[in-house]
Structure 1
Amino acid sequence: MALPRIYFEKLIENSPDIVVAVDREGSIVFYNDGARQTLGYRSDEVHGKPVALLYPSRDEAKRVMWAMRSETHAERGKVKNFETIFTAKGGEQIPVAISGGIIYDEAGAESGSIGFAKDLREIRRHDQLVTLGEIAVSLAHEINNPLEVITNSLELVEGFVRRIASDEQLVIEDDRFEAVRRELGQIQRIVNRVQEMASAGEYETRQYLPGTLMTDLRADAAIDARGATVDRAILRDSASMPAPRERSLAGLTLLVVDDDLGICQSMAALLQSQGAEVAFAICAADALALIAARRFDLVVSDVVMPDMDGYDLYMELKERRPELPVILMTGYLYDRDHVIKRSKLAGLDGKVLYKKPIDPERLQAIILERCAKEEGHGRGRDPGRNPPLP
């Protein structure tokens, strides 16, 4: 059964998109409720008026009509998703994408045109948030890698100072080291906050100056006894941190794998200062070659690497050397390629995957937990130490 004409008229009238029709003179003859809600004009305010009223200039209105008559954007007499600007009653300029065409009478002469316009503001805002999210995740990763190098180097410098400084000097230097760690923690907290916002696709703002807003990167904070602002997560980590053990990694042979040479060198130096013998590789292929040539007690690998990522390296080692423990580290809190998620699906639990930068003392404790040092170079180690393949 054919639907009555009034049914289709109601559909167009109630559409949330802007629908405007004009006669052959360019005067508005139809203006729906979606246009009223978006542009602010009532129907009686625009009916019979030139359609140029809705554009920022007459030239822009002519540009749209020219596009309809050309074959550049669609077949002649039509446009599809043609971007232009409408001007609302209050003067706001609204980006829209118009799809529509010229209406012809029975004799083939132009009798008018109709356009269906989509408000692009929310779409563009969403696209901008997606783009900013991608930038935020990449930026955070690029910051976390240098933070790892700084954290490792700070540990090495502090160890050196403790060996040569007097007790009086250590009191002063301890305060300085604590201040540096506090600021590193602040940077890491901000980076994590940026990644969390990128993952959620939304953010909060706070007033910076009267009338000026800025993104709120603050998280819950606690105040220490001296009045300094300290991230609660940092306080918890500090409270649960194991006491350092001098050269407690002696006798272990470790392999560090990261495409960032600075991380390889600083982590190797740090682990060597704790007594371990350390080699490093800047790609998974080099790591596999080293593992084939000599025996290691544990591998510390980055997750996101070119060619073969940490997940693929882990799976390859599970096949070749199931007794060899692997620790994965990542500078991504939110990983758009879901490398971390895939790793978890393969059986990786919280004892395998860690975020950069990792505290050196915590890394030392993790290595000792994963490596039974008395077993020596992996001999007699339980093959089930690495999580099973799916």
Structure 2
Amino acid sequence: MFDIKWIRDNSEAFDKALAKRGYDASSAKLISLDDARRAHITKLQEAQERRNAASKEIGKAKASGDNESAQKLIDEVAEIKSFIQNGEEEERKLVAALEEAMAGIPNVPHEDVPEGEDENDNVFFRGFGEKPTFSFNTAPKEHYELGEDLGGMDFATAAKLSGSRFVVLKGQIARLERALGQFMIDLHTAEHGYTEVSPPLLVNETPLFGTGQLPKFEEDQFKTTTGHYMIPTAEVPLTNLIAGEILGEDELPLRVAALTYCFRSEAGSAGRDTRGMLRQHQFEKCELVSVTTPDKSLEELERMLDCAETVLKKLGIHYRVMTLCAGDMGFGARKTYDIEAWLPGQDTYREISSCSVCGDFQARRMNARYRPEGSKQLSHVHTLNGSGVAVGRALIAVVENYQNGDGSITVPDVLRPYMNGLETIG
């Protein structure tokens, strides 16, 4: 969400920034809606001033015995009162029209975000490790082949239970997924300074509006018969912990993390990644959220990225970090890094984490502010979110990168304490 006053003062820069995202220029439309709102408010103010003046004139007319003039003034005040009542409703409609138009506009990209239309225009930032080499001569298998052969991934039963894009994990594969999640949340809370939170998995529409999933991405959400939404990511409840709050500067940065299930309808992804666990309706993720002052938010993004990378470094997974181009960023992001893990079974990199700084975009939608030290003025906080990391995709990466020629999976050293010392699955 944006400040219409800022858009008025920076209309050219606003349109240029949105054009970088491939979004049509919008300042003229927004300013026109705001002009209509302002003009109507002016009429209401003038009507209220006239009503007050006429009310005083009624008393004078009656005191002088001019009943005819008094009656005309009474009739005029009645008309003005009716106009004001109807006008207040019209004002609400004009305000709603402006807010609705602004709610559908994505965040403006940071100035150092590369230009581009899609993932093909993303820019390499840095990497870690090397692609693994295997002692066997056959091509590496994909995770679902390995998982099914081990009896640990059952897609057929999941389809019977729930339909496509679900999986039943069993035995040591199920335990491996649990170990990954526990390892991640322990790492981020014990070593990276995040406070663990166990949030609701069902939220109402207000938090989804606050983080930008609504109203634009309604079709991507699962909605219950009670009107609740199943969270698409723990970013939603974690970020909204500060909705409507005024924080002290000494409370920042605020860093919270959660290990939760997430639910996405995957609208628009028909035919994509239909095999295996890459694109599921239900998946587990360790989410990181930070709240900072504006001058520290870009620094916090680099810190968050480093925290997410540490997960893969400790797992020994080769990856690369990509700076997303303007056209590939999420709706609420100003700048985004994607971490892409190497999957030898697919012979390609796939996203396993996305870390974004949103500036005050979400804070304005949530009315989340802080009081700078020594200042009487309130300012909006800056918010950040990132995966630290997606558990299901980390499971895929471990299974594919640690596969052996006999179809077994070597358990990474860092996970063995969570697996009761187990070294190999299979």
Q: TM-score, normalised by structure 1?
A: 0.27
Relative contact order higher in (CA < 8 Å, ≥ 6 apart): 2
Q: TM-score, normalised by structure 2?
A: 0.25
